[in-house]
Structure 1
Amino acid sequence: MERVDLSLRLLQALAAVAEEGSMTRAARQLNLTQQAVSSQIRQLERVVGTVLVERLSTGIELTAAGQIVLKQGETLLTSAQAMMAEAREVGAERPQPLRIAFKAQSTAHFMPGVEAAIRAQMPDLEVRPLAVHTLPDELDALLEGRADAAFLWLPIGDDPRFTVHPLLAEKRWVALPPGHPLSGRDSLRIDDLADVPVVGPRDGMPAAVVDFWFIDPRPDGSRALFGPQARTPEECLHLVAAGHGCWIAPASTVTYFAHPRLVWLPLVDAEPNELALVWPRHSTHPYLNLLLQETRRATVPCSSEQLG
């Protein structure tokens, strides 16, 4: 058998270059210098014996040989990570904790049941919840290794670093202050909000995410009115109660928060919110699929009866 002198760090460099399309951006992802990444790619090409990347005016692209090395290399990287995770688990004689980022208002109606189902099958597996407030908080927790998986609302932007498993869809509702001209309605349509500012988080959010949550532009082509920003649900509720505008949120939020100075109305013609279970694409935690399996068994959207 031919002796292969192949380092996994060389495959990681190729994967980063393929993902970023740039040596500079790949270097930032790997926390290396551009020269170091270029050197690793040249070293990998010497090991394989052929050219793996092409430098074009539009960026860097993989050759056909590079695509083969990338595909097989990702399998090797995944296997290596799984090997180390399993070895650590066996060595510690306990499963590694399963850390889950979540927003309480989005998961309170199913997450305790999911944890109970996992505990029944794996009594030694510790499930560690990590409460977060915004999409950037959740994605950062995943990328920084503080969470193994996250329950979050779609969309999250075009990000190939994550594996996304849609779970359920919920209708959207609108929070208004009592006495608002629209508060006496039984339901609302998007056109009814033409002159109502919408509060919520925007800074740090991908444009597509902001457009979806604020329904901007509106179906008739008009632009949404942006009210004050808020990071947390509690801040959004306060801004609405203080008369700064409305807040558009999933149905589960309505059931979670009781507020004496708010009126909630269904937004009948808006695209629903979709909740997903997300984890890093190359994650090798051995119990992610168990989490997904039990979550799919437990998750159901909030019903109109629950909302009263």
Structure 2
Amino acid sequence: MDGVDSVDSVDGVDGVDLSLRLLEALEAVAAEGSMTRAAGVLNLTQQAVSGQIRQLERVIGTPLVERRPTGIELTAAGEVVLKQGAALLSSAQAMVTEARVTAAGRPDPLRITFKAQSTAHFMPAVEAALRRGAPEVEVRPIASHTLPDEIAALVEGRADAAFLWLPIGDDPRFTVHPLLEEERWVALPPGHPLETRTSLSIEDLADVPVVGPRDGMPEAVVNFWFIDPRPDGSRAVFGPQARTPEECLHLVAAGHGCWIAPASTVTYFAHPKLTWLPLIDATPNVLALIWPKHAANPLLDRLLEETRRALHPLPIATT
């Protein structure tokens, strides 16, 4: 578990020596349904994760996982250990964070830049969890509209971390933690010939201009968001530029083209005149938490932990 290296085991419970790393391994296996994928999450080998699960089973004294054709599932005992283990992991992380905050005195505010439409479904829960673990923490949200805004806030020291959509271009200055995937959806103007469809493919948008921000964006970022070039090698048709979601929605409503956006945008920005349709063959959007590689705020690891915890029970956002 990030940031809890010095708190590794719970001793003295009927002779049980229970390593928190073993509980973290079970949590990852349960979430991923696979030893191999859990190993990737934990940055371990598959053999190491399997060994940790076997060790945990020896400590508990009963099988905790079952291998099935659909993947690895927890036994009833495994579900109990997962539930109680999550509480232990959270308590250990809270202890470490509170101790560090106490030693350092009142911490600096944790400044997080974000796009409201992308984080509204989980960020309030994350902030509440941070405050429960460290009541002295002040979370300072900073709303942004575009990737350059968020990157500038980090580089200039106005923010400690950012929730943003990948890619960000070839930028080695940051630590990047992918969090979730969302389908891409398309906003169409009123009366558009495609509005009666139930879904769209990239090919359907061959002659439809795409609105959105381009100035100041790395080329790889523009190519991703506008899907340029298209899979068949043709080029996207670029419509007018817009910086904010509201500007994009206005341009679409006025008939200047379509807008391709993450699924969470659809539910956050209701518009009476637009039709939203899923783009079924496009690469999903990936939301990440990033911060500068040499960041010193001791709460960043806790921010990542609580964000992953808040997102774990949530499905990928769709309408």
Work out whether the TM-score is over 0.5.
yes
Q: In 2, Cα distance between the equivalents of 1:287 and 1:295?
A: 12
- CA deviation vs aligned residue, 1:43-76 (integer Å, no higher than 9, x gap): xxxxxxxxxxxxxxxxxxxxxxxxxxxxxxxxxx
Are residue 155 (structure 1) and residue 135 (structure 2) matched? no
Kindly provide the amino acid, as one letter, of the partner of residue 200 in structure 1: G
- Residue equivalent to 1:199: 211
The one of 119, 129, 132 aligned to 1:120: 132
Deviation at 1:303, TM superposition (A): 3.8
Question: Which of 231, 241, 244 is the aligned partner of 1:219?
Answer: 231
The residue aligned with 1:34 is none
Q: Which residue of 1 aligns with 2:264?
A: 252
Aligned equivalents of 1:138, 1:190: Cα separation in 2: 28
| Residue matched to 1:263 | 275
CA distance in 1, matches of 2:106, 2:127: 17
Count of aligned pairs: 219
Q: What is the CA–CA distance in structure 2 between the aligned matches of 1:270 and 1:298, rounded to whole Å?
A: 26
Q: Structure 2: any 5+ residue segments left out of the alignment? A: 1-98
| Cα separation, partners in 2 of 1:275 and 1:303, compared to 1, 3 Å | closer
Secondary structure class of the residue paired with 2:131: helix
- Which residue in the other structure is 1:104 paired with? 116
Contact conserved, 2:211 with 2:248, CA < 8 A, in 1?
yes
Quick check: 1:162–1:281 contact (8 Å CA) kept in 2? yes
Q: Distance in 1 between matches of 2:210 and 2:315?
A: 24
The answer to whether the 8 A contact 2:164-2:287 is kept is yes
Q: Matches of 1:123 and 1:254 in 2, distance apart? A: 34
Over the residues paired in the alignment, what is the CA RMSD in angstroms? 1.6
Aligned to 1:47: none
Q: Is the 8 A contact 1:199 1:229 kept in 2?
A: yes
User: Where has structure 1 moved over 4 Å in runs of 4 or more?
Assistant: 86-91
Task: Kindly indicate whether the alpha-carbon contact (under 8 Å) linking 2:200 and 2:277 is maintained by their aligned counterparts in 1.
Answer: yes
Query: Do the aligned partners of 1:198 and 1:227 also contact (CA within 8 Å) in 2?
Result: yes
Q: What is the CA distance between 1:301 and its match in structure 2?
A: 4.7
**SS, match of residue 289 in structure 2:** strand
Contact 1:187 1:268 in 2 (8 A): yes
User: Residues of 1 paired with 2:245 and 2:207: CA distance?
Assistant: 22
- For 1:298, the equivalent position in structure 2 comes to 310
Alpha-carbon separation, structure 1, partners of 2:112 and 2:226? 27
Amino acid at match of 1:254: V
**Residue of structure 1 in register with 2:187 after alignment:** 175
Q: Please report the TM-score for the alignment, with normalisation by the length of structure 1.
A: 0.69
Contact 1:167 1:276 in 2 (8 A): yes
Code of the residue aligned with 2:230 in structure 1: it is R
Q: Spell out the pairing of 1:1-308 with structure 2 (5 A cutoff).
A: 93-299=105-311, 300-304=314-318, 307=319
Cα separation, partners in 2 of 1:228 and 1:222, compared to 1, 3 Å = same
* CA gap 1:301/1:131 in 2 versus in 1, 3 angstroms: farther
Secondary structure at the counterpart of residue 216 of structure 2? coil
Distance 1:119 1:88, change over 3 A: closer
Structure 1 pair 167/229, CA: closer, same or farther in 2 (3 Å)?
A: same
Describe the superposition over 1:242-272 as per-residue Cα deviations: whole angstroms up to 9, x where unpaired: 0000000000000100111111000000000
2:100 and 2:298 in contact (8 A); partners too: no
Distance in 1 (CA, whole Å) between partners of 2:315 and 2:148 is 24
Amino acid at match of 1:286: P
Separation in 2, partners of 1:234, 1:165 = 28
Match of 1:65 in 2: none
Deviation, 1:178, is 2.1
Given that 2:183 and 2:317 are in contact with CA atoms closer than 8 Å, whether structure 1 keeps it comes out as no
TM-score (normalised: structure 2): 0.67
Classify 1:106/1:288 alpha carbon distance in 2 versus 1 (closer, same or farther; 3 Å).
Answer: same
> Contact conserved, 1:198 with 1:246, CA < 8 A, in 2?
yes
Residue identity in the other structure for 1:126: E
Q: CA deviation at 1:204?
A: 0.2
Structure 1 unaligned residues grouped into runs of 5+: 1-85
Q: Decide whether the 8 Å contact of 1:169 with 1:301 is kept in 2.
A: no
What amino acid does structure 2 have at the position aligned with 1:159?
D
Give the structure 2 partner of residue 50 of structure 1: none
Is the 8 Å Cα contact of residues 168 and 301 (structure 1) preserved in structure 2? Answer: no
Change (3 A) 1:89 1:224: farther
Match of 2:287, SS? strand
Q: Give, in angstroms, the shift of residue 302 of structure 1.
A: 4.0
